[in-house]
C-alpha cells in the first residue's frame, strides 16, 4: 500500500509543478487544480499514516529499554493508542485508493412503477414515493416531480422525480430493483394478505456534455396534456413525447405548464436512461456481473420485502431485517443504505487486491 501511496504523492507533487508552469491557460490550470484538490484528502491521510508509523516505531524502540520502568510503561501506552489509530488510517486510505463511481456525487432521477398487484401495487408505489421524499427531507436534499401517472385513489402507475443533493447517487443507487409488499390492501374486504410489487430505478442525472444525442436520433411529438379521466389540463399543446429512434426508448412529460419545461424534463430523463444503458453495456462487455451480491439492484431483482403483519422490512441482498416498518416508511432507510455501502466497499477492496494483511 505504501508503494501505491508513494506513486500518488509523486503525481501530486508533479501537478503542483505543472500548475506553476501552466501560464495563462486558465482552463488547464483549473483542471490541474481540481485534480490536486481531489487528491488532497488522500495526501493528508497518507501523511498522518506515515507519522503514526514513525511514532509507533519510536515507541517500540523505547519498549526495548528495560532499565527505565516509567519510560517502558509510557511506550506501552503509546503503542496501545497508536495501533487502532493506524488501523483506522489504513482502512481509510484503502477506501480512498479504490476507484470511485464517477456518478456518486450526481443528483438522481428516481423512477417508481407499479408492478404486480393491480391497484394495491399502485398504492405501494405511492408509499415508496413518500418514503423517498421523507428520506430526502431528512438528508436536506431537494426533490421535484418530473412525470406521473396516477390511478385516482392515491396510487401511481408510474412516478418519476428528481432528488438533488451532494452524494445523492452514492446513497440511493442501492435502491434500484423490485420492492415487494405483503399486507392487507385497503381494497380487500375479506382481510386476506396480498403480495404486490413495485419497481424502482435510480439513475444518475446526466449533463448534456456527458452524452451526445444527435437531434436526428429524436422524434419529438407535442400534444395536449390530459388529467385523470381524460379531462384537458391545458388548452394549448404543452405535453412532450420524445422517442429515441435508435433504441426505441420513449419519454413523455406533461406536468409542466410550458412546452419548453416539459421538453427539458423529458430530455433529462432520456439522457439518464441512455447513459445507464451505456454503462450496462460497458459492464457486460467487461464480463462482470452487473450487480454483485450487494449490487445496486437489478430492475428484475427482488431486493426488499415490506411485511406489514410482522412489522418487518428485509433486504434480501444482505439478509438484514428491521422491525421498525413505520420508521422505514418515513424515510429511515439509512440502516440498509449504510450496510449495503459497507458491503459494496469491502467487495471493491477485495477486487482491488487489498486484504487485511496488506
Per-domain residue ranges for the chain?
2-97, 108-209+291-347, 211-283
Question: Pairing relation of β-strands 302-307 and 177-183?
Answer: parallel
DSSP secondary structure string for all residues of 54-104: HHHHHHHHHHT--S-HHHHHHHHHHHHHHHHHHHHHHHHHHHHHSPPPTTT
Give CA–CA dist 240/267, Å, rounded: 10
Measure the CA angle with vertex 313, ends 308 and 315; round to 5°: 145
What integer pLDDT is reported at residue 287 of this predicted model? Answer: 46
CATH placement of domain 211-283: 3.30.160.20
Res 235: pLDDT? 56
Q: 34-91: per-residue pLDDT in tens?
A: 889 988 999 999 999 999 999 999 999 888 877 778 888 888 899 999 999 999 998 8
Q: What is the pTM of this model?
A: 0.69
CATH of domain 108-209+291-347: 3.30.70.1660
Question: CA-CA distance, 155 to 121, in Å (whole number)?
Answer: 8
Average pLDDT per run of 10 along the chain, which is 358 residues long?
A: 82 90 86 88 92 92 80 89 91 80 89 93 96 97 92 91 94 94 82 92 84 89 66 64 93 86 90 86 55 45 93 95 97 95 81 56
Mean pLDDT of the chain: 85
Does this chain's domain 108-209+291-347 share its CATH topology with 211-283? no
Q: What is the pLDDT of residues 192-230, one digit of tens each?
A: 899 999 999 999 988 876 788 899 999 999 987 765 444
DSSP code string of 199-266: EEEEEE---GGGS---GGGEEEEEE--B-GGG-BS-SS--EEEEEETTTTEEEEE-SSSSHHHHHHHH
Amino acid at each position: 500500500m505504501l508503494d501505491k501511496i508513494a506513486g500518488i504523492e509523486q503525481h501530486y507533487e508533479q501537478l503542483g509543478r505543472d500548475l506553476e508552469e501552466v501560464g495563462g491557460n486558465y482552463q488547464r490550470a483549473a483542471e490541474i487544480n481540481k485534480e490536486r484538490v481531489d487528491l488532497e484528502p488522500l495526501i493528508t491521510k497518507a501523511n498522518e499514516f506515515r507519522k503514526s508509523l514513525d511514532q509507533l516505531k519510536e515507541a517500540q524502540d523505547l519498549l526495548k529499554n528495560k532499565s527505565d520502568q516509567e519510560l517502558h510503561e509510557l511506550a506501552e501506552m503509546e503503542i496501545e493508542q497508536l495501533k487502532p489509530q493506524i488501523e483506522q488510517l489504513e482502512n481509510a486510505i484503502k477506501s480512498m485508493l479504490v476507484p470511485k463511481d464517477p456518478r456518486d456525487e450526481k443528483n438522481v432521477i428516481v423512477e417508481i412503477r407499479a408492478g404486480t398487484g393491480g391497484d394495491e401495487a399502485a398504492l405501494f408505489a405511492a408509499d415508496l414515493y413518500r418514503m423517498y421524499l421523507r428520506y430526502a427531507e431528512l438528508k436536506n436534499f431537494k426533490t421535484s416531480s418530473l412525470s406521473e401517472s396516477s390511478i385516482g385513489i392515491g396510487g401511481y402507475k408510474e412516478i418519476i422525480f428528481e432528488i438533488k443533493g451532494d452524494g445523492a447517487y452514492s446513497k440511493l443507487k442501492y435502491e434500484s430493483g423490485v420492492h415487494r409488499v405483503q399486507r392487507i390492501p385497503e381494497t380487500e374486504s375479506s382481510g386476506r394478505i396480498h403480495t404486490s410489487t413495485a419497481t424502482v430505478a435510480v439513475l444518475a442525472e446526466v449533463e448534456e456534455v456527458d452524452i451526445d444525442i444527435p437531434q436526428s436520433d429524436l422524434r419529438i411529438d407535442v400534444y395536449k396534456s390530459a388529467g385523470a379521466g381524460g379531462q384537458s389540463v391545458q388548452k394549448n399543446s404543452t405535453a412532450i413525447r420524445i422517442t429515441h429512434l435508435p433504441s426505441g426508448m420513449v419519454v413523455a412529460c406533461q406536468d409542466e405548464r410550458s412546452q419548453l419545461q416539459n421538453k427539458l424534463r423529458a430530455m433529462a430523463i432520456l439522457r439518464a436512461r441512455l447513459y445507464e444503458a451505456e454503462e450496462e453495456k460497458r459492464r457486460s462487455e467487461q464480463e462482470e456481473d452487473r450487480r454483485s451480491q450487494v449490487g445496486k439492484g437489478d430492475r428484475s431483482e427482488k431486493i426488499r420485502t415490506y411485511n406489514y403483519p410482522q412489522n418487518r422490512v428485509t433486504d434480501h441482498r444482505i439478509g438484514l431485517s428491521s422491525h421498525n416498518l413505520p420508521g422505514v416508511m418515513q424515510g429511515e432507510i439509512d440502516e440498509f443504505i449504510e450496510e449495503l455501502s459497507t458491503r459494496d466497499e469491502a467487495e471493491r477492496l477485495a477486487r482491488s487486491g487489498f486484504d487485511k494483511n496488506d
